[in-house]
RNA sequence: GUGAGCGUAGCUCAGUUUGGUUAGAGCAUCAGGUUGUGGCCCUGAGGGUCGUGGGUUCAAGUCCCAUCGCUCACCCCA
């Protein structure tokens, strides 16, 4: 049997309503914050991610789905969206049309990691990018959008963590200070962290190892070495978040795994999923656009994992999706009326009524059971003596009331279906 | 890449410790209980190469080895 590839999942009809619910909520929120949707190809030239995300990151160095196409061009299934959005932004000169571009997306991403709770190889993210302004208001806006969406879903067990990485100059300065602090503690660090000491020293703060944590307990903090501009930017972000009632905490040890971040970074963590607890992460990336060949321009954004959010919702039992309904089920009383039933079904379907009927030649009782299972509002019986008299029987499945209706008055049935119940066109 | 746990019906799982008839249950499906009427209830039916391959044995779902898959954790990140 051929099965779905490791780390990929089918989203079956039973689960689609949850996805649509979440997607609709995201779209509404994004619209109210005036973000416009952007869709980019699922694969890009590999070089984009190497330059955008950073060669040294785990994502680029060991997690990408990279392959050669028939023209020997190296392509990669996108592992994240920001680089792709920035590429499109530069390619289409979006900055020339509008000084500030506010974009959002809901899209699949690909990373070849070992699957785990809340971690798949094809997974879905939604996110936003605001390109063209360095205002701290946008840093805050990102956190507010993300938090509001999670909050609207009913998630409770959330922690918002923020930090500032400052500008590269102050960060380099800090790295040296940290290096000196750790120089006589190297023997206390884990193997991984010893490597990081050389390659990307800030990432040592990400370690879960007890020994690393102990060694870092008294470490100097990045936030103490920010220049005055970064500091005031960061303070403004915090003030705006406080005014917006976002329950955040400053975590000076929050460093992110992508190289492009500057100034504000943030993460929203849930206590309701497994160990992959980050539902959302983001921050400012004022150097990325220039780095990818665009005119120097600031940007800020975030991405959130939809599977993780759904997992959290499931564990907190906070998604109340209304059950699926059918407007009408047409029941065939006589087996020689299959074509008549088919005509009637089509008549109502073309009026945007959700209708079903039996294609399996089943008994009336079986048809009724099916109608009940489909949660239909009405059933329509076609056949027998009533049919000879030019009538059909309409049954209200809620109270069981039945009435005979002349077949010349189908519009009477139509009105009933349209008034009382949610019809197909509104259900999406 | 590393470690641990788990693979029995469409789903959730008993049965494996101590090998022994034809491998079970609940849910779901189908049929019947009204020559034309749902939910509840009752009766019955279908559905399994016990993940796969090999080994031990008179005998393997059960013991051994290998292999594949899934899950969780490390790692990393959304």
pLDDT tens digits for range A122-136:
999 999 999 999 999
| Nearest nucleotide over every DNA/RNA strand to the A206 CA, judged by C1' | B76
Taking 50 as the pLDDT cut, the residues of chain A under it are 421-428
> What's the Å distance between residue A119 CA and nucleotide B49 C1'?
34
Q: Which residue, A284, A425, A287, is CA-closest to A350?
A: A425
Note the pLDDT of residue A422: 45
| Nearest nucleotide over every DNA/RNA strand to the A255 CA, judged by C1' | B77
Q: Are A53 and A80 in contact (CB under 8 A)?
A: yes
- Any strand B atom closer than 7 Å to A13 CB: no
Note the pLDDT of residue A420: 61
Query: Which residues lie below 8 Å from residue A385, measured CB to CB, with a gap of 6+?
Result: none
Assigned token pair, A76: 């990669």
**Sign of the CA dihedral A29, A33, A34, A39?**
negative
| Nearest nucleotide over every DNA/RNA strand to the A7 CA, judged by C1' | B70
Length of chain A: 428
CA-atom Rg of chain A in angstroms: 28
| Nearest nucleotide over every DNA/RNA strand to the A4 CA, judged by C1' | B69
**What single DSSP character describes residue A323?**
P
- Any strand B atom closer than 7 Å to A129 CB: no
Q: Which residue, A143, A193, A185, is CA-closest to A164?
A: A143
Q: Which nucleotides of B are covered by protein (CB under 7 A)?
A: 1-3, 29-33, 36-39, 69-78
Assigned token pair, A91: 């390619």
pLDDT digits (tens, 9 = 90+) for A120-169: 999 999 999 999 999 999 999 999 999 999 999 999 999 999 999 998 88
CA distances to A53, A59, A109, A280, A306 from A42, rounded to whole Å, are 16, 16, 8, 21, 17
Note the pLDDT of residue A176: 87
Note the pLDDT of residue A210: 74
- Any strand B atom closer than 7 Å to A283 CB: no
- Any strand B atom closer than 7 Å to A152 CB: no
Consecutive H or E run containing A27: helix A13-32
Q: How far apart are CA A219 and CA A182, in angstroms?
A: 8
> What's the Å distance between residue A116 CA and nucleotide B6 C1'?
15
- CB-based burial, A293-302: b 16+ in 10 Å, e otherwise: ebeebbbbbb
Number of other residues whose CB lies within 10 A of the CB of residue A389: 10
What is the SS3 assignment for A282?
strand
Q: Which residue, A179, A149, A420, A127, is CA-closest to A300?
A: A127
Q: Which residues pair with A379 in a beta bridge?
A: A329, A395
Q: How far apart are CA A319 and CA A61, in angstroms?
A: 37
- Any strand B atom closer than 7 Å to A199 CB: no
Assigned token pair, A70: 């028939």
Name the phi and psi angles at A328, rounded to 5.
-150, 140
What is the value of pTM for the model shown?
0.91
> What's the Å distance between residue A351 CA and nucleotide B66 C1'?
62
> What's the Å distance between residue A65 CA and nucleotide B25 C1'?
45
The pairing of beta strand A248-250 with beta strand A355-357: unpaired
- Any strand B atom closer than 7 Å to A113 CB: yes
- Chain A window 24-63: residues with CB closer than 7 Å to nucleic chain B are 57-59, 63
> What's the Å distance between residue A163 CA and nucleotide B23 C1'?
60
Q: How far apart are CA A164 and CA A423, in angstroms?
A: 50
> What's the Å distance between residue A316 CA and nucleotide B17 C1'?
37
Query: Which residues lie below 8 Å from residue A185, measured CB to CB, with a gap of 6+?
Result: A215
- Chain A window 296-315: residues with CB closer than 7 Å to nucleic chain B are 303-305, 307-308
Number of other residues whose CB lies within 10 A of the CB of residue A406: 11
* Residue with the two structure tokens 């504000």: A264
Query: Which residues lie below 8 Å from residue A418, measured CB to CB, with a gap of 6+?
Result: A351, A353
Note the pLDDT of residue A376: 94
- Any strand B atom closer than 7 Å to A402 CB: yes
Alpha helix segments (H runs only) across A111-252: 136-152, 168-183, 191-199, 210-216, 228-243
Query: Which residues lie below 8 Å from residue A379, measured CB to CB, with a gap of 6+?
Result: A328, A329, A330, A331, A368, A371, A394, A395, A397
Assigned token pair, A408: 């010349």
Q: How many helices (H) and strands (E) does chain A have?
A: 17, 16
Note the pLDDT of residue A349: 96
- Any strand B atom closer than 7 Å to A372 CB: yes
Name the phi and psi angles at A54, rounded to 5.
115, 130
Consecutive H or E run containing A394: strand A391-396
CA A386 to chain CA mean position, Å:
53
Note the pLDDT of residue A425: 40
Note the pLDDT of residue A55: 86
Protein residue at shortest CA distance from C1' of B69: A6
Q: How far apart are CA A155 and CA A385, in angstroms?
A: 57
> What's the Å distance between residue A6 CA and nucleotide B59 C1'?
39
């Amino acid at each position: 049997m051929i099965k779905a590839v490791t780390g990929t999942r089918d989203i079956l009809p039973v689960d689609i309503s949850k996805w649509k619910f979440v997607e609709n909520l995201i779209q509404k929120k994004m619209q109210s914050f005036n973000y416009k949707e952007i869709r980019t190809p699922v694969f890009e030239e590999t070089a984009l991610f190497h330059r955008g995300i950073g060669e040294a990151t785990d994502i680029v160095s060991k997690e990408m789905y990279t392959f050669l196409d028939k023209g020997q061009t190296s392509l990669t299934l996108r592992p994240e969206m920001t680089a792709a959005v920035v590429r499109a932004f530069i390619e289409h000169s979006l900055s020339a049309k509008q000084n500030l571009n506010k974009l959002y997306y809901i899209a699949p991403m690909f990373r070849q990691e070992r699957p785990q709770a809340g971690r798949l190889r094809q997974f879905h993210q939604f996110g936003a990018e605001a390109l063209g302004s360095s205002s701290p208001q946008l840093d805050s806006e990102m956190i507010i959008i993300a938090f509001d969406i999670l909050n609207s879903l009913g998630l409770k067990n959330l922690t918002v963590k923020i930090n500032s990485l400052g500008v590269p100059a102050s960060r380099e300065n800090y790295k040296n200070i940290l290096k000196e602090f750790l120089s006589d503690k190297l023997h206390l660090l884990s193997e991984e962290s010893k490597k990081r000491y050389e390659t990307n020293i800030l990432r040592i703060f990400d370690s879960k190892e007890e020994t690393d944590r102990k060694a870092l307990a008294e470490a100097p903090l990045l936030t103490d070495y920010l220049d005055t501009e970064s500091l005031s930017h960061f303070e403004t972000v915090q003030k705006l978040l406080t005014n917006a009632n976002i329950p955040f905490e400053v975590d000076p040890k929050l460093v992110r795994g992508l190289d492009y971040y500057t100034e504000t970074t943030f993460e929203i963590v849930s206590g309701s999923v497994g160990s992959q607890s980050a539902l959302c992460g983001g921050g400012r990336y004022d150097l990325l656009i220039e780095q990818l060949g665009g005119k120097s321009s600031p940007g800020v954004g975030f991405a959130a994992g939809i599977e993780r959010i759904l997992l959290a919702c499931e564990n907190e039992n906070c998604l109340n999706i209304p059950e699926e309904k059918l407007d009408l089920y047409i029941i065939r009383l006589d087996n020689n009326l299959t074509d008549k039933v088919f005509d009637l079904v089509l008549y109502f379907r073309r009026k945007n009524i959700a209708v079903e009927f039996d294609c399996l030649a089943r008994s009336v009782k079986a048809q009724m059971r099916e109608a009940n299972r489909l949660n239909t509002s009405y059933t329509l019986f076609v056949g027998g003596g009533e049919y000879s008299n030019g009538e059909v029987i309409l049954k209200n499945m809620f109270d069981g009331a039945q009435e005979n209706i002349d077949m010349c008055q189908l519009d009477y049935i139509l009105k009933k279906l349209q008034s009382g119940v949610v019809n197909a066109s509104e259900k999406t």
